[in-house]
Every structure is written in structure tokens, then in C-alpha cells.
Amino acid sequence: MSNRRNFIKTSVLGTLGASTLISCKEESKASAIAPETSVKKGSKPLIISTWNHGLPANEEAWNQLKAGKSSLDAIVAGVGIPEADPKVRSVGYGGFPDREGKVTLDACIMDSNSDCGSVSFLQNIKHPIAVAQRVLENTPHVMLTGEGALQFALEEGFKEENLLTEASEKDWKNWLEKSKYQPVINIENHDTISMLVIDENGDITGGCTTSGAAWKMHGRVGDSPIIGAGLFLDNEVGAAAATGLGEAVIRTAGSAMVVELMRQGKSPNEACKEIVERIYNKHKNHKDMEYLQVGFIAVNKNGEYGGYSLRSGFNYAVYDEENGNRMEDSKFKMTWDN
């Protein structure tokens, strides 16, 4: 166990940098003064995305908004940046494959009219979020999966391509040597990108795209394409999106619950925190607990935003006119040593 802890610590240091750990410590000191649930407010438009790859994604989405594109188009272009980046091992091209060496992708998108589109278990298409948008716009359905999703993507003009890069194939072969099933959420920076946008009028849109848990069973679908789990919004209230172990988010209908708590008057931070607490309570004696990480981001109609994670290390990128594009560390319930 202690080896594992050391591994996690080293790995977290490796992927996020020592400064993140230090800032986590500083943050817990700071939280004695500023309550964990303090409200942060941005100006509109506002974009918030999970993890470090949220920065370039926000940048692109912002430029699209400023060029007069719709929030849906801005999200598709924004999260399309990490989708196409082979160095981002958790999304799109170059994502970690499943245990059979297949890269299978999940994505969804939702607009302020509560129209939504989603694809799951999609293979060989680099931009699943763009296919999800076409599901929203061009079909009477919400969700297409597997072969059917691929067939639809091809009919829509998307091109098939191999998404398994040399690096991901090598890592998969290394994993095969031991083949110990363990999703490596967070530990290897395996991080979904979820993005929420409030436009100048206060209308809210959201999207989410991922290659899912590394070494998952072939056919496994996580929370990310499931409206209500990985993403949810109600334009009267706000929006929330998740990252982390999808099974835990699905079990608790995570994002939908965060939005419901905001409807009842909780701030985005408070709502995210309460659902993380609920996930903790449901999982504290569960087999998934040892490697469980879940994080939420949320925004409300007033332009308040926030996030909260079960374990340390989660961060998100926020972009607004006043303060530009920046990373903010999430508050969390516990460190990886607990």
C-alpha cells in the first residue's frame, strides 16, 4: 500500500508539478480563512473547463465566441483541441485504449434549450464531440452508440482514422504484461475534458469528451456521454460536468444532482461539494474507493462558478473578460494519503 501511495505521489508530482501539491497545501491553510464554499463570480461570457488541457480549449472556444460563433460551435472547436492532441492521453486521438487495444470514445453536448446529442463507444473518429453535435442537430435522438454511431458519423462526412498512437500502443502492451485491471483515473492524468459556457446573454451550453477509463473492458461506457451523469444543465439554473471514475458519477446521477442543488439555492461550490460528499459516503466501503477520484465543475445563471473534488489534484481552467484565461485549483475532501 505504501508503495502505491508513493507511486501516486510521485506520479501526481510528475504530471501536475510540485507547485500543484504545494498550492493544495496552501489552499487547505487558506480554507481556514475563506470557507471552502466561498462564491466566485466571473463576468459573462464565461468558459470553464476541466484540467490543464482546459486552457488551450478555453482559448479556442473564446476566440470562436468572439468571432460570433454559437456556444455549441465554440465548445466543439474548444474541446476539439485536446481531442486532436496526441499528447493528451485521455481524450480523442492518442487516448489510452481499452484492454483490447481499441480506443473507444464517449462525448455529449447540451444546449440552453435542453437539446442534447451524445455518442458512446465510438471508434476511429477523432472528434466525437462534433459527432454528438450532429446527433443533436440532425437526428430525432439523443444518443447513438458503437457501430450505429460510426455509421452515422460516416454518413455525416467524418473520416475514419486510426486513433491508437505508438505511445498508447506501447503503454497498452506494457499494461498487458500484468493485465491487472485497474482504471487509472487521475493517477496517470487520465482526464476527461468537460466545458461549460455562459454566453453574454446568460444562456448556458455544455460539452464533454473522453477516451474513458484506460484499460476498461471492451464496450464499457462511462459517465461522460450520459446526460445527467457526466453533464447536465438547466438554462433556468446552471450547469455541471464531471471528471473522474464514471461508474461513481453514474451511480449518483452526479451532474444532474449538482444542478438540482443549485436550483435549491446552493452556490456552484456548495453544490459540487455536497455531491462529492454523497459519492464519498456511498463509496467509503466500496471496492472502487482505493483509486476513486471524482471532480465536478459548475456554473449558475449569475455567472458564479466553482468546482470540488473528492481527492486533491483536480484543477480547472476559467476564462472571462475581467481575468483572462487561468487555472484554478479545486477544493477537495481529502488527499491521496487518506
Question: Can you tell me whether residue 194 is helix, strand or coil?
Answer: strand
Q: Is residue 223 close enough to count as binding ligand SD4 by CB under 6 A? A: yes
Q: Please, what is the minimum distance in Å from the beta carbon of residue 66 to ligand SD4?
A: 29
Q: Please, what is the minimum distance in Å from the beta carbon of residue 183 to ligand SD4?
A: 7
Query: Is 37 or 332 the residue whose CB approaches ligand SD4 more closely?
Result: 332
Catalytic residue, from 20, 37, 104, 192: name it.
192
Question: Can you tell me whether residue 272 is helix, strand or coil?
Answer: helix
Instruction: Determine the interface stretch with ligand SD4 among 158-166, 174-182, 217-225, 231-239 (rule: CB under 6 A).
Output: 217-225
Among 23, 210, 252, 325, binds ligand SD4 (CB under 6 A): 210
Among 128, 222, 254, 307, binds ligand SD4 (CB under 6 A): 222
Q: Please, what is the minimum distance in Å from the beta carbon of residue 271 to ligand SD4?
A: 19
User: Which cell is 272 given?
Assistant: 459540487
Q: Which residues, 235 to 294, sit near ligand SD4 by CB under 6 A?
A: 243-246
The count of chain residues that interact with ligand SD4, using the rule CB under 6 A, is: 14
Instruction: Determine the interface stretch with ligand SD4 among 59-67, 71-79, 168-176, 188-196 (rule: CB under 6 A).
Output: 188-196
Cα(328)–Cα(290) distance, integer angstroms: 26
Query: Is residue 328 within 8 Å of 308, Cβ to Cβ?
Result: no
The binding site for substrate comprises 220-223, 243-246
Instruction: Determine the interface stretch with ligand SD4 among 29-37, 120-128, 184-192, 272-280 (rule: CB under 6 A).
Output: 184-192
SS3 content of the chain, % helix, strand, coil (to 5): 35, 25, 40
Q: Is residue 79 close enough to count as binding ligand SD4 by CB under 6 A? A: no
Among 64, 104, 168, 224, binds ligand SD4 (CB under 6 A): 224
Instruction: Determine the interface stretch with ligand SD4 among 17-25, 196-204, 220-228, 256-264 (rule: CB under 6 A).
Output: 220-228
Q: Is residue 191 close enough to count as binding ligand SD4 by CB under 6 A? A: yes
List CB contacts of 183: < 8 A, sequence separation 6 or more. 190, 213, 214, 215, 216, 245, 291
Question: Can you tell me whether residue 154 is helix, strand or coil?
Answer: helix
3-class secondary structure per residue, 82-109: HHHCCCCCCCCCCCCCCCCCCCEEEEEE
Is position 20 annotated as part of the catalytic site? no
Q: Which amino acid is at 189?
A: N
Cα(256)–Cα(318) distance, integer angstroms: 21
Q: Is residue 185 close enough to count as binding ligand SD4 by CB under 6 A? A: yes
Q: What are 334's strand-pairing partners?
A: 311
With CA atoms as reference, report the closest residue to 60 among 241, 197, 235, 224.
Answer: 197
Q: What are 143's strand-pairing partners?
A: 118
Rg value, the chain, Cα: 18
Query: Is 124 or 192 the residue whose CB approaches ligand SD4 more closely?
Result: 192
Q: Is residue 98 close enough to count as binding ligand SD4 by CB under 6 A? A: no
**128 sits in which H/E element:** helix 128-138
Query: Is 23 or 192 the residue whose CB approaches ligand SD4 more closely?
Result: 192
Summarize as ranges the residues that interact with ligand SD4 (CB under 6 A): 185, 190-192, 210, 212-213, 222-224, 243-246
Q: What residues are labeled active site?
A: 192
